[in-house]
Structure 1
Amino acid sequence: MAEVRIRNTDERIQGEEKVSAFLAEQGVLYEHWNPSKLPAELQNKFVLSDEEKQQVLETYDTEIRDLASRRGYQTWDIITLSEATPNLDELLKKFEQVHTHTEDEVRAITAGKGIFIIKGSDEVGYFDVELEAGDVISVPENKPHFFTLMDNKQIVAVRLFIETEGWIAHPFQDPSFKQS
């Protein structure tokens, strides 16, 4: 279940209802899909064949299509990251830059863990959303953020896009942002 940490105060928000309410106040969609719906052999597997990626998409087809129809997403895929990913550290450095997009950035975590760091309202500042299997988040277009992995560096996620070529990151320079 997702957990939020507000960076300025180190306050933690836990529980699906409280997390969902906080994120909604910040303009971020949060939902939860049933992680046990995924076949057991894929629940902790982080290197997937094309057939296994397709199996993940088929397992969550109803949820994906429902979210896509409500939010206008046109295409989706699977991203897998782990120690087996070539040049993982360089890839993460690219991810770990505050940026925006001209469309939502959506992740439905099917295995592993990750963190979105998002710029909230002026009163809140930046906050971390720690995600695990079953958590679904949509960071709205033009909202400064970035995504990274937790210490175990393993994740499988469904990504949904409006534009069929996917999103493009636009760097966001913010002197108030502090890595922590």
Structure 2
Amino acid sequence: MAEIRIRNTGERIKGDENVSAFLNNQEVLYEHWDASKLAAGLQDKFVLTDEDKAEILSTYDAEIRDLAERRGYKTWDIVALSDATPNLDELLKKFEDVHTHTEDEVRAITAGRGIFVIKGTDDVGYFDVELEAGDVISVPENKPHFFTLMENRQIVAVRLFIEPAGWVANSYNDPTFQKA
């Protein structure tokens, strides 16, 4: 279950209804998929074969296709990150720059944990959305954000795209942003 931390105040928002309501007010889609559907052997596996990735996509095929139909996504893949990922620290530095995209950035977490840092409305400022297996989030196009790993440094997620080539990050220089 996702949790939110408002960076300016330290306030934490918990509980599915509260998280959903807050994110909806910030124009961020939040849903939850049944994480227990995934085979037990894949629930804590972060180095995946092509067969593992195909199994994850097959397991969540109905959910992926439903979301894709509702939101216009045309392609999807799996991203898996862990300490076994080559150049992980360099990748994380690249991820941790505030940016925007010309399409939604979507993650459906199937294993592990991660954080989206998102710029909210002026009265809210930046907030962290701490995600775990089963959480699905879509950050709207042109909304400043970035995604990174939590302290466990392990995640597997389905990514969905409108453009078959995927999205391009456009740097967003914001002097009000302060790293945690």
TM-score where L is the length of structure 1: 1.00
Q: Which residue of 1 aligns with 2:44?
A: 44
Q: Deviations over 1:51-95 (max 9, x none)?
A: 000000000000000000000000000000000000000000000
TM-superposed CA distance for 1:99, in Å, is 0.1
Distance in 1, matches of 2:20 and 2:161, equals 22
Gaps of 5+ in 1: none
Q: Deviations over 1:126-156 (max 9, x none)?
A: 0000000000000000000000000110000
Helix, strand or coil: the match of 2:89?
helix
1:61 is aligned to 2:65: no
Q: Which residue of 2 aligns with 1:28?
A: 28
Q: Which residue of 2 aligns with 1:95?
A: 95
Distance in 2, matches of 1:169 and 1:112, equals 24
Distance in 2, matches of 1:31 and 1:138, equals 9
Distance in 1, matches of 2:83 and 2:173, equals 29
State the number of aligned residues.
180
The letter of the residue matching 2:108 is A
Gaps of 5+ in 2: none
1:163 is aligned to 2:158: no
Query: What are the equivalent positions in structure 2 for 1:29-178 lying under 5 Å apart?
Result: 29-178=29-178
The letter of the residue matching 2:92 is L
The letter of the residue matching 1:99 is H
Helix, strand or coil: the match of 1:70?
helix
Distance in 1, matches of 2:39 and 2:123, equals 42
Distance in 2, matches of 1:54 and 1:2, equals 26
TM-superposed CA distance for 1:14, in Å, is 0.3
TM-superposed CA distance for 1:15, in Å, is 0.5
Distance in 2, matches of 1:167 and 1:132, equals 23
Helix, strand or coil: the match of 1:9?
coil
The letter of the residue matching 1:118 is I
Q: Which residue of 2 aligns with 1:179?
A: 179
The letter of the residue matching 1:14 is K
TM-superposed CA distance for 1:120, in Å, is 0.1
TM-score where L is the length of structure 2: 1.00
Distance in 2, matches of 1:25 and 1:117, equals 16
TM-superposed CA distance for 1:178, in Å, is 0.1
The letter of the residue matching 2:76 is W
TM-superposed CA distance for 1:108, in Å, is 0.1
Q: Deviations over 1:144-171 (max 9, x none)?
A: 0000000110000000000000000000
The letter of the residue matching 2:97 is Q
